């Protein structure tokens, strides 16, 4: 049996749903540089790199897709230079898939430096102090120069807790900007995803989903979340958007990276996620683990703990280094950030692999129960008596409500 060739144009890019379990889907997204298995977590290389991690290491973890930031790459080194280098794939030595965001998120994260009107967004560069106009057409021009497999439309992002008429205005403006992006999109070897807006208003979200689904060809994103909203609102928006979108489009929930959020959103029907969290938290010596959630390796309790971060993890860090070693260099040597970043990225990729396997084998409820039991339980310790005294955390009510919405039950 021969391998299916990778698509060379947007018309051939497709999403195959291979298995279902409740609302969840296990699928393959066919892109020009790789077939991406979903649900998938995409590590973030803001300026074409992750701190202390090289692309060969990502390939070794079987990472199929990562995210780069249009706003930052547009400023430094500049999209013209990236294009002259042969595109972002060649420049960063990565022959698998890339998704570039549009720059719209910086409306919120850099709001003190930003103004927005119908024409687009105006930024003051935090690097040079120069003003940068970013209309929808310019965002697409930059992304086409970068050459990612997936581009994102420029959307009007407002803070998720914003209320009033501006929420509806930003949603409708995002639809209008999508139409402008579609006109500006001329490269046939790149897909473009629309981005749903509508704040926490489920009616606006459904209206936006209906309009944008008509315009989506390969996939679609759910934007405007993970900005400080209550988790009870977060999961309900994700669930409503997934229910409103057609099944042939992969659903990308932007900015999601906490393990519990990844698992819950996957079982609500979402397919793609990204976040800087695994590498950002690694800078502080914090490792992600299945049992207990987070391991603060800079704490004194790990001073003489000679276990790996996770004895079931196959990453290079867990195969070769102990908690005690990382504790001794955390916050002192940059290699500590590198070691924990490697583990954290592998942790996220492995978690999504296990989610896919649970969907494929129709054991989603069993997996969900075990994952939540472990996550909210005690961290594994070299000293069993110390582990037994660790406090078991209560499963949050929003998680229980989301699980109930899925039709599953928790027996603890």
Cβ proximity of 53 and 279 under 8 Å: yes
Cα 99 from Cα 198, distance rounded (Å): 23
149 CB-near residues (< 8 Å, 6+ apart): 31, 32, 33, 65, 97, 98, 99, 190, 191
Q: What is the dihedral of CA 96, 101, 102, 104, to 10 degrees?
A: 180
Q: Where does 224-276 have alpha helices with state H?
A: 231-244, 259-268
Instruction: For residue 113, report the phi and psi dihedrals to the nearest 5 degrees.
Output: -110, 20
For residue 257, give both structure tokens.
């990276």
Whether 87 has a binding-site annotation, put simply, is no
Contact 67, 43 (CB under 8 A): yes
Structure tokens at 169: 């205005």
> Do the annotations mark residue 9 as ligand-binding?
no
The response to whether 155 counts as a known ligand-binding position is yes
Q: Say which of 101, 271, 310, 350 is annotated catalytic.
A: 101
Please check if 197 is assigned to a binding site.
Answer: yes
The answer to the question of whether 313 is labelled as a binding residue is yes
C-alpha 207/C-alpha 221 separation (Å) is: 14
d(CA 127, CA 124): 9
Cα(54)–Cα(52) distance, integer angstroms? 7
Catalytic residue among 149, 261, 271, 274: 274
Active site residue 271: no
3-state secondary structure of 272: strand
How many angstroms separate the CA atoms of 214 and 361, rounded? 33
Residue 102 is labelled as binding a ligand: yes
237 in Cβ contact with 209 (< 8 Å): no
Dig out the tokens for 180 from the structure. Answer: 């402008």
The reply, when asked if residue 34 is annotated as ligand binding, is no
For 62, list phi and psi in degrees, rounded to 5. Answer: 60, 40
- Known active-site residue 203: no
Helix or strand holding residue 193 (H, E): strand 191-193
Q: Is 143 annotated as a binding residue?
A: no
Phi and psi dihedrals of 279, rounded to 5?
A: -85, -35
Residue 170 Cα distances to 128, 197, 313, 319, angstroms: 29, 7, 43, 49
Find out whether 377 and 292 touch, Cβ atoms under 8 Å: yes
Residue 68 counted as an annotated binding residue: no
Distance CA 328, CA 299 (A): 10
Query: To 10 degrees, the CA torsion angle through 152, 245, 233, 295?
Result: -60
Q: Does 343 show up as a binding residue in the annotation?
A: yes
265 annotated to a ligand binding site: no
Q: Which residues belong to the annotated binding site for substrate?
A: 101-105, 155, 197, 224
The catalytic site residues sit at: 101, 274
Q: Which residues belong to the annotated binding site?
A: 101-105, 155, 197, 224, 313, 315, 318, 343
Q: Which residues belong to the annotated binding site for Zn(2+)?
A: 313, 315, 318, 343
């Amino acid at each position: 049996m021969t391998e299916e060739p990778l698509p060379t144009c947007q018309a051939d890019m497709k999403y195959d749903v291979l298995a279902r379990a409740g609302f969840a889907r296990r699928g393959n997204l066919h892109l020009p540089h790789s077939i991406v298995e979903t649900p998938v977590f995409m590590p973030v290389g803001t300026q074409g790199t992750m701190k202390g991690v090289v692309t060969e290491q990502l390939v070794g973890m079987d990472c199929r897709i990562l995210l780069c930031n249009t706003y930052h790459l547009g400023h430094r080194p500049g999209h013209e230079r990236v294009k002259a280098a042969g595109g972002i794939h060649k420049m960063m030595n990565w022959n698998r898939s890339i998704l570039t965001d549009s720059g719209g998120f910086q409306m919120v994260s850099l709001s003190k430096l930003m103004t927005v009107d119908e024409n687009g967004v105006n930024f003051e560069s935090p690097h040079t102090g120069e003003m940068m106009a970013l209309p929808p057409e310019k965002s697409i021009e930059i992304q086409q120069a970068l050459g990612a497999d997936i581009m994102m439309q420029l959307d009007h992002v407002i803070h998720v807790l914003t209320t009033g008429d501006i929420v509806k205005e930003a949603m409708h403006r995002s639809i209008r900007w999508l139409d402008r992006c579609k006109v500006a999109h001329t490269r046939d070897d790149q897909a473009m995803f629309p981005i749903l807006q509508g704040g926490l208003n489920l009616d606006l979200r459904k209206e936006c989903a209906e309009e944008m689904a008509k315009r989506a060809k390969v996939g679609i994103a759910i934007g405007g979340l993970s900005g400080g909203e209550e988790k009870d609102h977060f999961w309900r928006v994700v669930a409503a958007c997934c229910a409103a979108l057609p099944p042939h489009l992969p659903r990308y929930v932007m900015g999601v990276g906490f393990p519990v959020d990844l698992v819950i959103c996957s079982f609500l029907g979402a397919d793609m996620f990204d976040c800087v969290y695994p590498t950002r938290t690694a800078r502080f010596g914090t490792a992600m683990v299945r049992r207990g959630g987070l391991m603060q390796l800079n704490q004194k309790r790990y001073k003489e703990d000679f276990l790996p971060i996770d004895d079931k993890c196959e990453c290079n860090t867990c195969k070769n280094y102990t908690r005690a070693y990382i504790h001794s260099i955390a916050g002192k040597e940059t290699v500590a950030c590198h070691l924990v970043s490697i583990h954290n990225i592998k942790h996220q990729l492995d978690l999504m692999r296990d989610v896919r396997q649970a969907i494929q084998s129709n054991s989603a409820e069993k997996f969900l129960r075990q994952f939540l039991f472990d996550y909210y339980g005690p961290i594994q310790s070299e000293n069993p008596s110390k582990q037994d005294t660790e406090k078991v955390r209560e499963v949050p009510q929003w998680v229980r409500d989301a699980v109930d919405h899925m039709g599953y039950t928790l027996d603890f």
